[in-house]
Amino acid sequence: MNIPASPPPTPVRHSMALRPPRRTASPLRTCLTCGAGVIVLIVAVSCLCCVGSFGFYFANPPEQTNILILGGDARPGTKEERIARTDSIIIMSIDPDGNQVSMLSVPRGMYVESPTYGLIMANTVVRNAEVFEPGTGEDEMVVTMEDTFDIKLDHTVRISFEGFVELVDAVGGIEIDVPKRIVDHQYPTHDGGTIDITFEPGKQTMDGERALQYARTRHQDDDYGRAARQQQVIEALMKKLANPLHWSEAWQVIDKNYETDLTAEEAFRLAPALVLYGRGDSLQQLVINTDYMTVIDGNLRPNMDKLDAWIDEHLR
């Protein structure tokens, strides 16, 4: 599949022009590296905040909030991250009124209509925008996803693979129930090589590097199987982050490796909903695989006739 080498001669940013500038600096990215005594204090305060947050939550439940999660193999905020192809695209909706959290995984190779750059693969939207207009990649991706699925995105979160590994390690690993044996003889390494990896079926605790391998491997099945594993890993991570005792270590990782426009107040209000509904039957998940796509002129496109009902129930 070919990717346009250049944008249209006169790019016109339609719906983006009507959007207010997105916040890029996050009050959540507060440095927590001031010594062991402060860390102990933060843990204690976090426990108290958890109780207070739940009380405030039930008195003033937030509105449904949609968050675009972008993952890639570079640290957020760096030049490498800005021009890299997006490795993971997930839309998460936190809906207190509906008592649910929903996740929609968007395939990297699915073609979408970018307002500025036309028909391109989803994982190249940010890259194209950053190459031709540095600083516009995130906005371009937001508007493209909004237009594609007819939804509103309220916030974005960007994470590097390195940050993901550190976050999983910070919470003491995550428990994953591997449904079937996985063997990958071509798993990519950080230095550009490949290694053999194997996962046996059954419940197991994974550290950060192992969890990343599980979330990224795709040579035994495909991108759709990989997307399902990514959702499984996020669910397991949310379970660990529900424990306030992990918060201080988690914030230190977030400070270095995550980029978000969520404010501290917004995160404070949304956190209880993630704890309450980010698991079990309250967690609704969908991977856009070939059952939810159609081929137009040789390109895989989203089949909105099949997606609309799920999106209407969980993201709108």
Q: What is the pLDDT of residue 244?
A: 73
Number of structural domains (the chain) is 1
Integer Rg of the chain from CA: 19
Do the domain assignments include residue 190? no
Distances (CA, A) of 36 to 39, 171, 206, 252, 296: 5, 17, 26, 13, 58
What is the pLDDT averaged over residues 12-16? 42
Q: What is the pLDDT of residue 188?
A: 85
State the pairing for strand pair 155-160/65-72.
parallel
Q: Which domain holds residue 65?
A: 33-160+245-314
CB-CB contact of 311 with 150 (8 Å): yes
Phi-psi region of 134 (alpha: psi -120 to 50; beta: other; left: phi over 0): beta
Do the domain assignments include residue 88? yes
Do the domain assignments include residue 256? yes
Closest CA to 138 of 93, 77, 94, 92: 77
Distances (CA, A) of 282 to 54, 163, 192, 237, 285: 18, 27, 40, 16, 10
Question: Model pTM?
Answer: 0.75
Q: What is the pLDDT of residue 279?
A: 75
- Whether 77 has a pLDDT exceeding 70, the answer reads no
CB burial readout 170-190, b (16+ within 10 A) else e: bbebbebebeeebebeebeee
Closest CA to 158 of 62, 241, 86, 99: 86
Do the domain assignments include residue 74? yes
What is the pLDDT averaged over residues 262-281? 77
- Whether 5 has a pLDDT exceeding 90, the answer reads no
Do the domain assignments include residue 150? yes
Q: What is the pLDDT of residue 2?
A: 45
Do the domain assignments include residue 180? no
For residue 290, give the DSSP letter. G
The end-to-end CA distance of the chain, in Å, is 32
Angle between helices 137-149 and 304-314 (to 10 degrees): 100
What is the pLDDT averaged over residues 242-267? 77
Do the domain assignments include residue 229? no
Report residue 294 as tokens. Answer: 């159609």
- Whether 56 has a pLDDT exceeding 80, the answer reads no
Question: Where is pLDDT greater, at 273 or 154?
Answer: 154
Distances (CA, A) of 179 to 31, 201, 202, 214, 220: 38, 5, 6, 12, 13
> What are the phi and psi torsion angles at 149 (to 5°)?
-105, 0
* pLDDT tens by residue, 179-218: 999 999 989 887 778 999 999 999 999 999 999 999 988 7
Do the domain assignments include residue 10? no
DSSP string, 30-86: ----S-HHHHHHHHHHHHHHHHHHHHHHHHSPPPPEEEEEEEESS-TTSHHHHHSPP
- Whether 154 has a pLDDT exceeding 90, the answer reads yes
- For residue 143, give the CATH number of its domain: 3.30.420.590
